[in-house]
Amino acid sequence: MSPVIEVRNLRKTYGAGDTAVHALRGLDLTVEKGEYIAIMGASGSGKSTLLNILGCLDVPTSGKYLLDGIDTGEFDEEQLSLLRNRKIGFVFQSFNLVPRTTALANVELPLVYAGVRRAQRRERALAALELVGLKERTHHKPNELSGGQQQRVAIARALVTSPAIVLADEPTGNLDTESSREVLGILDRLNASGRTVVLITHEDEVAAHAMRTVRVVDGRVAGVLV
Amino acid sequence: MRLFEIGAFAVRGLTANKMRSGLTTLGILIGVASVILLIAVGNGASSAVQQSIAGLGTNILTISPQRAQPGSSAKPLTTADAAALVSPDSPDVKYASPVVSAQATAGYGSTSYAINQFIGSDPHYFETTNSAVAQGNLFSDNDVQQARKVVVIGATVATQLFPGTDPVGKSMLVNNIPFTVVGVLAAKGSSGLQDADDMAVAPLTTTQNALTGYGSLTQIVVQARSADALPNAQAQVTTILNGRHKITGTTADYRILSQDQLLTARTATTETFTVLLASVAAISLLVGGIGITNIMLVTVTERIREIGIRKAVGAPRSSILGQFLIEATLLSLFGGALGVAAGMIGSQFTIAGIKPVLVPSSVLLAFAVSALIGLFFGSYPASRAAKLRPIEALRHE
Ligand SMILES: Nc1ncnc2c1ncn2[C@@H]1O[C@H](COP(=O)(O)OP(=O)(O)OP(=O)(O)O)[C@@H](O)[C@H]1O
Ligand SMILES: [Mg+2]
């Protein structure tokens, strides 16, 4: 069976000429189905750049990225949006919920774009919110929720489409210890139920939840700690 | 993904920030309403002038003295000229009223008022100029023969000089000469540029005695038997006057204007006025358009992050475009419709003495232009944002 993520000689350069920043310099990475991986590395080493490319939010300058065996390099924008919708759940450090919109509507959002019917949409969104323990907060807007609650809504939104992979860029970076524990607990359970999880973190306690830790140095994978 | 869902997003987007939607609507409303109103005022002014001229009747000729070529002797227009115009030689002339006019200061009790036009003529003048009496009576031919000091005043003079009292029978001073007010004329209203009721009419003889002296008449107003007889009447008048003034060439010492010519001349001036107002309206449409542009750009720019979020969870470009297009359309239509309503309601009121008259094409123009501006500047930046990669949109400040 092919790995869920396969990255070969990935390069990403921002800008051009003298001011060009080489964020990724030929990175290789393979993630098997059902794995739980932590990505660590110094600030500016290219972790976010990598995860954005894995989430199809950005495209590499060169290199190959196979998602579930499909070469994403051959996809146009329309197909990429389909991929983001069906295969990927992305959790941001800064939550990125649609403002002035209820938790329920935020979680339903990917399902709307997936064309799921109203009744089923509601049912699945409520189930996802229940999974992250926010059944009582479904009609709250982001500004009426704590940071930890907002992040749990974001996770519910990421998992509501049952994606092949869940990507999280420092999901606990803005949270206190208690909220972090809750969020990590949810990710643990997600992984236990068979979902592939890739997260970026600066903290060893967070990385300890993962099966293995990938260390990124200067846009390359420096070593894999199991 | 159905259109209905995108429409629901659009409506939710609009209601989520009511302040922003309200301001955008207001911008479009003001742009549309001001254009409609300004053009209606211009149009109202010009149609008022046309009406007041047309009100004089289409069977009128106005003869006024004109300086002839230097050196040649110009004869004044006289009462005898006027009398001679009604004769068996001119079967198509019904009346010919001699007219003198001057400005005069009138006083009653402690109030005084400068009357714009103090006219001396004969009783036919009232019929010729379509002036009806509202209170009291007109003066008679006998009054003219006896040079009685009687006067018929216009509505404006009545309200200015006799507020709260009945002017009929009162004695008012005109340039310190006492005149008895015998009647008040019915109001004709403002003709846009000049108040037609700011006048008084006294017998010709009295006016010449008291105010103007016995020089040339200001005008002779000729009424033809009918509008169709006007060209014949003009020819007959010309023959008689040429004979009396011994005019052989083409340079007469008088000028005959028909109502048609007067109308054409006045229409030209009011058209200039309308063009002026229309250009002011065009500028306000432009300014309104810039306002709409501005608020639409801000609206979309502050939502580029939202666009990024939607793209990150898998929204295709078309659905984002659709959402913003529907939002912009709803705002533009709503604001435009309110603007049309405001413009129409506003044009029901008299503004600066002018009764506005709606121009249907201006309603359409204002509505279409603002709606298109709103649509373009609502959807163009959104379409640019929708083309961004999700991460670029999310990072947008
Ligand atoms: N849009 C961009 N334009 C130019 N340079 C960029 C851009 N995004 C990232 N970079 C540069 O690429 C490099 C890698 O950035 P990246 O965000 O991947 O680092 P990171 O490992 O996530 O760091 P941190 O731990 O601080 O989040 C940095 O030097 C950064 O300055
Ligand atoms: Mg980062």
Q: What is the chain B residue with the closest CA to A100?
A: B16
Q: How many CB pairs under 8 A join A and B?
A: 72
Helices (H), chain B: 3-16, 18-55, 79-85, 124-128, 141-146, 155-161, 204-207, 230-245, 259-301, 304-312, 317-346, 360-387, 390-395
Gap from CA of A60 to ligand 1 centroid (Å): 14
For the ranges A44-53, A116-125, B120-129, the lowest mean pLDDT is seen at: B120-129
Cα–Cα distance, A213 to B251 (Å, whole number): 111
CB contacts, 8 Å: A98 with chain B: 306, 309-310
Q: What percent of chain A has pLDDT over 70?
A: 98
Please work out, in degrees rounded to the nearest 5, the angle formed at the alpha carbon of residue B209 by the alpha carbons of B204 and B215: 75
* The pLDDT of residue A200 is above 90: yes
* The pLDDT of residue B371 is above 90: no
Query: Which conformational region is residue A155 in: left (phi greater than 0), alpha (psi within -120 to 50 degrees), or beta?
Result: alpha
Residue B8 CB partners (closer than 8 Å, separation 6+): none
* The pLDDT of residue A82 is above 90: yes
* The pLDDT of residue B93 is above 90: no
Which pLDDT does position A144 carry in this prediction?
Answer: 94
Ranges assigned E (strand) in chain A: 5-14, 21-31, 36-41, 62-67, 70-71, 88-91, 165-169, 196-200, 212-217, 220-225
Asked whether A14 lines ligand 1 (CB < 6 A), one says yes
| Chain A contact for B19 (CB, 8 A cutoff) | no
Are B1 and A113 in contact (CB < 8 Å)?
yes
Amino acid present at A42: A
Which is more confident, B311 or B14?
A: B311
**A82-107 mean pLDDT:** 93
Asked whether A201 lines ligand 1 (CB < 6 A), one says no
Per-residue confidence at A6, pLDDT binned at 50, 70, 90?
very high
Amino acid present at A63: G
* The pLDDT of residue B12 is above 90: no
- In 3-state terms chain A splits into helix, strand, coil percentages (rounded to 5) of 40, 25, 35
Which pLDDT does position B70 carry in this prediction?
Answer: 59
CATH topology of domain A5-225: Rossmann fold (3.40.50)
| Chain A contact for B310 (CB, 8 A cutoff) | yes
pLDDT 10s digits, A36-66: 999 999 999 999 999 999 999 999 999 999 9
* The pLDDT of residue B295 is above 80: no
For the CA atoms of B311, B315, B320, B326, the dihedral, rounded to the nearest 10 degrees, stands at -140
Asked whether A45 lines ligand 1 (CB < 6 A), one says yes
Q: How far is CA B24 from CA A32, B29, B201, B344, B377, in A?
A: 51, 9, 56, 20, 12
Are B16 and A114 in contact (CB < 8 Å)?
no
Which pLDDT does position B127 carry in this prediction?
Answer: 83
**B308-325 mean pLDDT:** 90
**A108-118 mean pLDDT:** 93
* The pLDDT of residue B53 is above 70: no
Which pLDDT does position B263 carry in this prediction?
Answer: 65
Which pLDDT does position B315 carry in this prediction?
Answer: 92
**B141-145 mean pLDDT:** 88
Which pLDDT does position A121 carry in this prediction?
Answer: 94
pLDDT 10s digits, B254-284: 888 877 766 676 667 777 777 777 787 778 7
pLDDT 10s digits, B356-366: 777 888 888 88
Nearest-CB residue to B1 (from A59, A98, A115):
A115
Pick the residue whose CA is nearest to atom 22 on ligand 1: A48
Which pLDDT does position A88 carry in this prediction?
Answer: 94
* The pLDDT of residue B72 is above 60: no
* The pLDDT of residue B252 is above 80: no
Which pLDDT does position A226 carry in this prediction?
Answer: 54
- Report the candidate in B93, B154, B101 with the shortest Cα–Cα distance to residue B124: B93
Q: What percent of chain B has pLDDT over 70?
A: 90
Please work out, in degrees rounded to the nearest 5, the angle formed at the alpha carbon of residue A46 by the alpha carbons of A40 and A47: 40
Which pLDDT does position A109 carry in this prediction?
Answer: 94
* The pLDDT of residue A110 is above 90: yes
pLDDT 10s digits, B164-189: 888 888 899 988 899 999 999 888 76
* The pLDDT of residue A117 is above 80: yes
Q: In this structure, are residues B196 and B48 in contact, taking their beta carbons and an 8 Å threshold?
A: no
Q: What is the chain B residue with the closest CA to A79?
A: B316
Gap from CA of A128 to ligand 2 centroid (Å): 27
**B363-372 mean pLDDT:** 83
For the ranges A161-165, A187-191, B88-92, B314-318, the lowest mean pLDDT is seen at: B88-92
Which pLDDT does position B58 carry in this prediction?
Answer: 67
Gap from CA of A143 to ligand 2 centroid (Å): 24
Q: Is the pTM of this model over 0.80?
A: no
C-alpha radius of gyration, chain A, whole number = 17
Per-residue confidence at B60, pLDDT binned at 50, 70, 90?
confident
Which is more confident, B295 or B156?
A: B156
